[in-house]
């Protein structure tokens, strides 16, 4: 007998009727497997299936997942395998591809549309009727479903595909009964609660997404580079989601559009495009319709989840901080209050007025906070944090969001569609979308830390928020910004400016100013303050002239609205910010006196402001706690230490900022005697009030270091820069522009202090950090490369200098600077032995000079001379001689050309003639200016007397060598002797003295004075051997010459010993067939023959 079943909606009864076991399974109260006859064991025909469509003709990027499916579904006995993912991620296509690929491996493949329990039952009933025929023809739907499960149990080897299962409980009844008979593959948008280990399906990778587009729309023109880029951009815009890509490709192909054209439509009318399918395609299979269904399911379970999704839609898709949403469930979030009285005061000052001065007509257009009131908001959505987390969990369960303990991520296409208002869609009604947009801005504004320009403690939070502020700014149409946006955009501009990202800061400041003017009018205090932030950003972005003009307009408008200030309190509140900002702009323009004037006016106003608000005496040690006491060092303690935001908002910070700008103006104007005492006081005040670990303290130390450097006190500058750099690295990181710039000045101070090695090491570190720095001015990066290259050039490290110079050459646009860089590069290549490359660069420099400054004959002659040397070193003697002759002609034609330069030019040309084997031409070039009868330049002829004499001596030495090589030994000998005495005294040694001695000895041999030759060549051979070693070719040649001299004096046996020794060394070092070995072997044979004949060798 059967046992009584438990009551309730879901129940399983087991029992027996006439010995036949039956099961009754109630699925959600809708489909029942009732008692009835058991299904017979009746296998289907081979390859039997009901797959709903053929495999996709374009299936890309899922090969590994197909392998995983095949492995996980390798045999009976496994839990159902669930593939889950965002609607449109390709779950159905993946299941269909697996089913078709493995069709012959299963006895049956049966596909059921499983988006409800009823449809699962209907699919099973259809299976029973298909495989059992007449045995199931008359059965009711519940009975047919039971017959199907019986049949599946009795006929193993099948694959059951359940597509789009809505919830895990819909699958559970089948999972246990069919586990051991075949394989069940399910797809679902729901991510959690499944048996076994489900597979999450991500979007396609970027390359696969592009391939899908190109194959599905082959006529869209993707064979051109521009269209390939458009296809990639379109794939990125669609988040690489397969359904969206298929929709786009089908419409593009059918409409004959290019990818560029479709992308334009998508960006111009996204709502229509996301909801439009190609003609003939299923209108339900669009991304908009697909997610509408998902949101319907989510809203049924928890409408708050959809509310939260609408807010998340306005942020960046990845890593939204979870705590950004905390105010949605905070008890006090229904009222949005400033954080502190200091913030209220700061906002009042920023608005440029005291609340008592608000004229009639403006009060109602001001933000409520600035009116001294509280502005009600509707931030709170959830009654407690648990409720909010449950709403997020549901989004995660439906794959609409990816959750971690710290962050939330939402697919970019889900965001794009969710934030598009559409009448008739309950989830995207315009009012709901608008409210979500405003909440998103309020949440960002509430999360953004105060004083972003100076409080580095808030910077990590700002960096986490910035991608979401950027995304919000791009998503909100111009002209639809909420009130919170004006403050959010303005504060973001301050933060970006502190990172030296001035172009981005300018964009936010401009957007803030436009929004404020739209919301409050052009004469509103809030609008005027936002325009001040815009002026500051213009100055930082390299447009100071526009900034000055805007500051002047702002002050004129404030005077018009509020009246010209007649007391310091009103002057500071109205114009304090604009005076300081305008002074900085004037500094950028080089208008230093005007900057000093504005800063002095601002500082005087501040002093009057403090006197008016905090009157009375403040004696030292008086213990006052007001700003004036603290600024005069009569208060106690360090009130702001550790609270950078509070100090950044304080009156003290504003007064010190004014003093800082004034000191910088003094420095820029060359009035270092005024700047130094002020900067020393500013440093002490910052250390006392804010402590050493504050951004403004770091900057005060940096500016003081600049002043010390300007005052020629490099060691004190080094100490300031060291402290400033250490603080900057700790507060803002090593790659922040402030750290990099401070280190570069430290290097400059080390140079001034006589520490060149430390200077170079610091510049190497500066270069390493600057290459990775974000926000560093490219002009500074150029300067840092140039400085380091100069260091390397000065220390002979040309190989390291060359790549730095080459990068600057790529970036430089000014022709004169490009020419200078080429010249330095040519010298570098010349020094490292790449003479051919040096010659190429010198030729380019000469071409520039002839084109840009053809009358600068002295400079052009210098370049011809450098080309003479470079081509000569490269072995191109013909080109070298051509340039040398041109250089000589130019020098001779210049009346003012120094004799030293004329000698040097002729010397270079003669050297090339000698290298080319034309010693007689070398003699002709030099004999008139450096011969025996010539005299060196006099002080009257050449202001550089010593340089002129040195050039003359070198030219005469070159002439002596040329004469020796031209077989004019008699004329060469006195010049060689003169050169040795004047330039290279033999007693001092050295390679050049040894070479000259060797040449002189050979000359003595040629004029038949072997005794003198012997003594000279003995000295030469000894010196050369001591310098280069016995195996060096120069040492062996000098030994050969010495043996010749010995033989000429009649000492044949001595000559033979020298030759035998030289032959042994040559054979050992250069081999038996070496040229030097052959020379000694020939000499030895000559000596042997001479000994046999009783004479001398030839």
* pLDDT beyond 90 at 333: no
* pLDDT beyond 90 at 1039: yes
Render pLDDT for 873-911 as a digit per residue (tens, 0 to 9). 999 999 999 999 999 999 988 877 788 888 999 999 999
Indicate the residue among 181, 200, 219 that finishes a domain: 200
Q: What is the arithmetic mean of pLDDT over 507-532?
A: 89
Please indicate whether residue 42 or residue 211 has the higher confidence score (pLDDT): 211
Say if 526 falls within a structural domain.
Answer: yes
Report the SS3 class of residue 319.
coil
Say if 837 falls within a structural domain.
Answer: no
Report the SS3 class of residue 379.
coil
pLDDT band at 521 (very low <50, low <70, confident <90, very high): confident
Which value, to the nearest 10 degrees, does the dihedral of the CA atoms of residues 812, 817, 821, 824 take? -170
> What element of type H or E holds 765?
helix 756-772
**DSSP per-residue string spanning 81-118:** EEEE-STTSSHHHHHHHHHHHTGGGSSEEEEEE-SSHH
Q: Give the per-residue SS3 of 1040-1092.
A: HHHHHHHHHCCCHHHHHHHHHHHHHHHHHHHCCCCHHHHHHHHHHHHHHHHHH
Say if 648 falls within a structural domain.
Answer: no
Other beta carbons within 10 Å of 110: 25
Q: Are residues 235 and 248 in the same domain?
A: yes
CB 594 within 8 A of CB 612: no
Long-range pairs of 801-809 with CB within 8 A, sequence gap ≥ 24? 801/828, 802/828, 802/829, 802/832, 804/767, 808/782
Residues 6 or more apart whose CB falls under 8 angstroms from that of 959 comprise: 910, 922, 923, 926, 927, 930, 931, 975
Closest CA to 330 of 380, 377, 375: 380
Residues 6 or more apart whose CB falls under 8 angstroms from that of 138 comprise: none
Distance CA 760, CA 750 (A): 9
Chain-centre distance for alpha carbon 114: 49
* pLDDT beyond 50 at 29: no
> What element of type H or E holds 199?
strand 199-200
Q: Are residues 315 and 233 in the same domain?
A: no
Say if 890 falls within a structural domain.
Answer: no
CB 402 within 8 A of CB 318: no
Indicate the residue among 432, 447, 462 that finishes a domain: 447
Distance CA 752, CA 763 (A): 14
* pLDDT beyond 50 at 276: yes
Q: Give the per-residue SS3 of 228-280.
A: HHHHHHHHHHCCCCHHHHHHHHHHHHHHCCCHHHHHHHHHHCHHHHHCCCCCC
Q: What is the arithmetic mean of pLDDT over 843-861?
A: 92
Q: What is the arithmetic mean of pLDDT over 613-627?
A: 60
* pLDDT beyond 80 at 35: no
Q: Are residues 602 and 667 in the same domain?
A: no
User: 109 phi and psi, to 5 degrees?
Assistant: -125, 120
Residues 6 or more apart whose CB falls under 8 angstroms from that of 492 comprise: 448, 452, 466, 469, 505, 508
Q: Is 460 exposed, middle or buried (0-12, 13-18, 19+ CB in 10 A)?
A: exposed
Closest CA to 172 of 27, 30, 301, 294: 27
Residues 6 or more apart whose CB falls under 8 angstroms from that of 588 comprise: 539, 542, 544
pLDDT of residue 272: 67
Alpha-carbon radius of gyration of the chain = 45
3-state helix, strand, coil in the chain (%, to 5): 65, 5, 30
Say if 883 falls within a structural domain.
Answer: no
Distance CA 9, CA 640 (A): 65
Say if 780 falls within a structural domain.
Answer: no
pLDDT of residue 1: 35
CB 484 within 8 A of CB 445: yes
User: 876 phi and psi, to 5 degrees?
Assistant: -95, 80
pLDDT of residue 103: 87
* pLDDT beyond 90 at 384: no
pLDDT band at 790 (very low <50, low <70, confident <90, very high): very high
Longest Cα–Cα distance in the chain: 143
Q: Are residues 1008 and 1058 in the same domain?
A: yes
pLDDT band at 862 (very low <50, low <70, confident <90, very high): very high
Report strand pairing: 81-84 vs 20-27: unpaired
Distance CA 925, CA 906 (A): 6
Q: Are residues 299 and 182 in the same domain?
A: no
User: C-alpha angle with apex 571: 566 to 575, nearest 5 degrees?
Assistant: 140
Q: Are residues 574 and 667 in the same domain?
A: no
Domain that holds residue 296: 286-336+380-447
Q: Are residues 161 and 47 in the same domain?
A: yes
Using CA atoms, how far residue 473 sits from 421, 455, 469, 515, in Å, is 17, 24, 6, 12
Report strand pairing: 48-49 vs 108-113: parallel
Please indicate whether residue 293 or residue 698 has the higher confidence score (pLDDT): 698
pLDDT band at 636 (very low <50, low <70, confident <90, very high): low
Render pLDDT for 667-679 as a digit per residue (tens, 0 to 9). 999 999 999 999 9
* pLDDT, averaged across the chain: 83
Say if 571 falls within a structural domain.
Answer: yes
Distance CA 38, CA 123 (A): 18
Which value, to the nearest 10 degrees, does the dihedral of the CA atoms of residues 513, 516, 518, 521 take? -110
Q: Are residues 172 and 130 in the same domain?
A: yes
Adjacent-strand bridge partners of 321? 407
* pLDDT beyond 90 at 537: yes
* pLDDT beyond 90 at 229: no
pLDDT of residue 345: 42
User: 166 phi and psi, to 5 degrees?
Assistant: -80, -45
Q: Are residues 415 and 522 in the same domain?
A: no
Render pLDDT for 728-738 as a digit per residue (tens, 0 to 9). 999 999 999 99
Render pLDDT for 479-495 as a digit per residue (tens, 0 to 9). 888 888 888 999 999 99
* pLDDT beyond 70 at 37: no
Residues 6 or more apart whose CB falls under 8 angstroms from that of 404 comprise: none
pLDDT of residue 651: 79
pLDDT of residue 372: 43
The domain that holds 1062 is classified in CATH as: 1.25.40.10
Buried b (16+ CB within 10 A) or exposed e, 27-52: bbeebbbebbeebeeeebeeebbeee
Weakest mean pLDDT among 20-29, 554-563, 774-783, 828-837: 20-29
Closest CA to 131 of 117, 115, 113, 145: 145
Structure tokens at 185: 């593959």
pLDDT of residue 542: 92
Other beta carbons within 10 Å of 591: 20
Q: Is 209 exposed, middle or buried (0-12, 13-18, 19+ CB in 10 A)?
A: buried
In this prediction, what percent of the chain has a pLDDT beyond 70? 85
Q: Are residues 121 and 269 in the same domain?
A: no
pLDDT of residue 174: 81
Q: What is the arithmetic mean of pLDDT over 159-183?
A: 83
Indicate the residue among 613, 631, 650 that finishes a domain: 613
* pLDDT beyond 50 at 208: yes
Render pLDDT for 1081-1097 as a digit per residue (tens, 0 to 9). 999 998 888 776 655 55
* pLDDT beyond 50 at 69: yes
User: 1013 phi and psi, to 5 degrees?
Assistant: -60, -40
Residue 7 is given by DSSP the state P
Report strand pairing: 199-200 vs 108-113: unpaired
Distance CA 254, CA 714 (A): 74
pLDDT of residue 118: 87
Per the rule left: phi > 0, alpha: psi between -120 and 50, beta: everything else, 479 is left
Report strand pairing: 81-84 vs 183-188: parallel
Distance CA 910, CA 930 (A): 12
Strands across the sheet with 402-403, in order? 320-321, 407-409, 402-403
Render pLDDT for 680-737 as a digit per residue (tens, 0 to 9). 999 998 888 888 888 889 999 999 999 999 999 999 999 999 999 999 999 999 999 9
Q: In this structure, is the dihedral angle defined by the CA atoms of residues 863, 864, 870 and 871, taken in order, positive or negative? A: positive
Domain count, the chain: 6
Say if 2 falls within a structural domain.
Answer: no
User: C-alpha angle with apex 596: 591 to 598, nearest 5 degrees?
Assistant: 100
Q: Are residues 503 and 390 in the same domain?
A: no
Structure tokens at 660: 């800082």
Please indicate whether residue 464 or residue 950 has the higher confidence score (pLDDT): 464
Structure tokens at 199: 């597979």
> What element of type H or E holds 32?
strand 31-32
pLDDT of residue 590: 92
Render pLDDT for 395-413 as a digit per residue (tens, 0 to 9). 988 888 889 999 999 988 8
* pLDDT beyond 90 at 802: yes
Weakest mean pLDDT among 27-31, 503-507, 956-960: 27-31
CB 170 within 8 A of CB 114: yes
pLDDT of residue 378: 57
Q: Are residues 1041 and 1013 in the same domain?
A: yes
């Amino acid at each position: 007998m059967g046992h009584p079943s438990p009551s309730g909606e879901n129940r399983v009864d087991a029992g027996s009727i006439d010995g036949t076991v039956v099961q009754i399974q109630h699925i959600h109260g809708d489909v029942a497997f009732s008692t009835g006859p058991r299904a017979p064991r009746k296998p289907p025909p081979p390859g039997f299936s009901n797959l709903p469509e053929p495999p996709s003709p374009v299936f890309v990027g899922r090969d590994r997942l197909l392998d995983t499916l095949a492995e996980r579904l390798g045999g009976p006995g496994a839990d159902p395998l669930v593939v889950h993912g965002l609607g449109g991620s390709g779950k159905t296509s993946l299941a269909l591809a697996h089913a078709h690929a493995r069709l012959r491996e299963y006895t049956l493949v049966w596909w059921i549309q499983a988006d409800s329990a009823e449809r699962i039952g209907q699919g099973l009933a259809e299976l029973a009727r298909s495989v059992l025929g007449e045995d199931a023809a008359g059965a009711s739907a519940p009975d047919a479903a039971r017959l199907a499960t019986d049949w599946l149990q009795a006929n193993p080897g099948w694959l059951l595909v359940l597509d789009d299962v809505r919830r895990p409980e819909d699958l559970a009844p089948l999972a246990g009964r069919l586990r051991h008979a075949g394989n069940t593959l399910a797809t679902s948008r729901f991510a959690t609660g499944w048996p076994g280990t489900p597979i999450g399906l991500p979007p396609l990778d970027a390359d696969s997404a592009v391939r899908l587009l190109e194959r599905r729309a082959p006529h869209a023109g993707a064979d051109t580079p521009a269209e390939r880029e458009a296809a990639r951009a379109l794939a990125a815009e669609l988040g690489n989601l397969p359904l969206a890509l298929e929709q786009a490709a089908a419409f593009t192909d059918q409409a004959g559009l290019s990818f560029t054209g479709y992308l334009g439509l998508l960006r111009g009318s996204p709502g229509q495009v996301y909801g439009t399918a190609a003609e003939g395609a299923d209108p339900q299979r669009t991304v908009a319709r697909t997610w509408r269904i998902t949101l319907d399911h989510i809203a049924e379970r928890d409408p708050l989840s959809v509310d939260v999704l609408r807010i998340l839609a306005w942020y960046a898709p990845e890593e939204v901080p979870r705590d950004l949403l905390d105010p949605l469930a905070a008890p006090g979030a229904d009222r949005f209050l400033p954080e502190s009285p200091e913030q209220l005061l700061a906002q009042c000052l920023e608005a440029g007025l005291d609340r008592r001065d608000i004229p009639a007509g403006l009060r109602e257009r001001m933000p409520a906070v600035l009116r001294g009131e509280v502005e009600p908001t509707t931030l709170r959505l959830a009654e407690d944090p648990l409720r909010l987390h449950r709403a997020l969990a549901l989004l995660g369960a439906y794959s609409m969001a990816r959750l971690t303990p710290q962050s939330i991520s939402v697919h970019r296409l889900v965001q794009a569609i969710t934030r598009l208002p559409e009448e008739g869609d309950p989830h995207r009604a315009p009012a709901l979308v608008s409210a979500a947009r405003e909440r998103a801005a309020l949440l960002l504004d509430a999360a953004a830390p105060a004083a972003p320009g100076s409080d580095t403690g808030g910077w990590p939070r700002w960096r986490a928020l910035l991608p979401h502020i950027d995304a919000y700014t791009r998503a909100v149409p111009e002209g639809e910004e909420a009130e919170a946006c004006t403050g959010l955009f303005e504060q973001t501009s301050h933060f970006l400016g502190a990172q030296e990202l001035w172009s981005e800061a300018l964009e936010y400041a401009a957007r803030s100013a436009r929004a404020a003017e739209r919301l409050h009018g052009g004469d509103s205090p809030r609008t005027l303050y936002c325009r001040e932030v815009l002026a500051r950003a213009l100055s930082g972005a390299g447009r100071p002239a526009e900034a000055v003009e805007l500051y002047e307009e702002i002050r004129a408008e404030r005077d018009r609205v509020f009246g010209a200030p007649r007391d310091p309190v009103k002057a500071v509140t109205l114009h304090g910010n604009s005076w300081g900002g305008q002074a900085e702009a004037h500094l950028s323009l080089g208008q230093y006196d005007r900057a000093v004037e504005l800063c002095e006016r601002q500082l005087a106003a501040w002093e009057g402001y403090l006197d008016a608000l905090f009157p009375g005496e403040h004696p030292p040690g008086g213990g006052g706690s007001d700003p004036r006491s603290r600024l005069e060092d009569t208060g106690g303690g360090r009130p702001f230490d550790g609270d950078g935001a509070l100090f950044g908002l304080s009156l003290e910070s504003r007064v010190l900022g004014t003093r800082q700008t004034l000191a910088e103006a003094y420095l820029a104007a060359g009035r270092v005697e005024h700047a130094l005492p002020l900067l020393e006081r500013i440093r002490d005040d910052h250390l006392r009030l804010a402590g050493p670990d504050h951004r403004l303290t770091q900057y005060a130390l940096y500016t003081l270091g600049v002043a010390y450097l300007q005052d020629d006190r490099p060691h004190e500058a080094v100490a300031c820069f060291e402290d400033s750099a250490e603080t900057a690295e700790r507060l803002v990181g090593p790659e922040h522009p402030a750290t990099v710039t401070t280190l570069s000045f430290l290097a400059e101070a080390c140079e001034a202090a006589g520490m060149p090695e430390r200077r170079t090491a610091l510049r190497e570190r500066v270069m390493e950090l600057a290459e990775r720095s974000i926000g560093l001015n490219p002009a500074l990066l150029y300067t840092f490369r140039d400085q380091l290259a100069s260091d390397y050039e000065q220390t002979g490290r040309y190989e390291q200098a060359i790549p730095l110079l080459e990068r600057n050459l790529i970036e430089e646009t000014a022709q004169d600077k490009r020419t200078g860089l080429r010249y330095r590069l040519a010298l570098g290549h010349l020094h490292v032995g790449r003479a051919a490359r040096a010659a190429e660069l010198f030729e380019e420099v000469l071409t520039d000079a002839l084109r840009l400054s053809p009358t600068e004959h002295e400079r052009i002659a210098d370049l011809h001379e450098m080309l003479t040397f470079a081509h000569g070193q490269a072995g191109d003697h013909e080109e070298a001689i051509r340039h040398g002759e041109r250089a000589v002609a130019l020098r001779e034609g210049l009346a003012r050309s120094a004799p030293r330069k004329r000698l040097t030019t002729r010397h270079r040309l003669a050297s090339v003639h000698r290298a080319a084997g034309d010693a007689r031409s070398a003699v002709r070039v030099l004999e008139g200016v450096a011969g025996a009868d010539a005299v060196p330049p006099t002080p009257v002829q050449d202001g550089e007397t010593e340089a002129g004499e040195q050039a003359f001596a070198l030219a005469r030495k070159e002439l002596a060598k040329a004469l020796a090589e031209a077989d004019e030994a008699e004329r060469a000998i006195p010049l060689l002797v003169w050169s040795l005495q004047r330039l290279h005294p033999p007693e001092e040694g050295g390679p050049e003295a040894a070479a000259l001695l060797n040449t002189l000895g050979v000359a003595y041999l040629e004029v038949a004075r072997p005794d003198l030759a012997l003594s000279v060549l003995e000295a030469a051979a000894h010196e050369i051997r001591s310098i280069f070693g016995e195996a060096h070719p120069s040492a062996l040649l000098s030994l050969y010459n010495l043996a010749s001299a010995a033989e000429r004096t009649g000492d044949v046996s001595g000559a033979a010993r020298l030759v035998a020794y030289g032959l042994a060394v040559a054979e050992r070092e250069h081999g038996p067939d070496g040229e030097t070995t052959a020379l000694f072997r020939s000499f030895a044979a000559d000596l042997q023959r001479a000994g046999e004949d009783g004479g001398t060798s030839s």
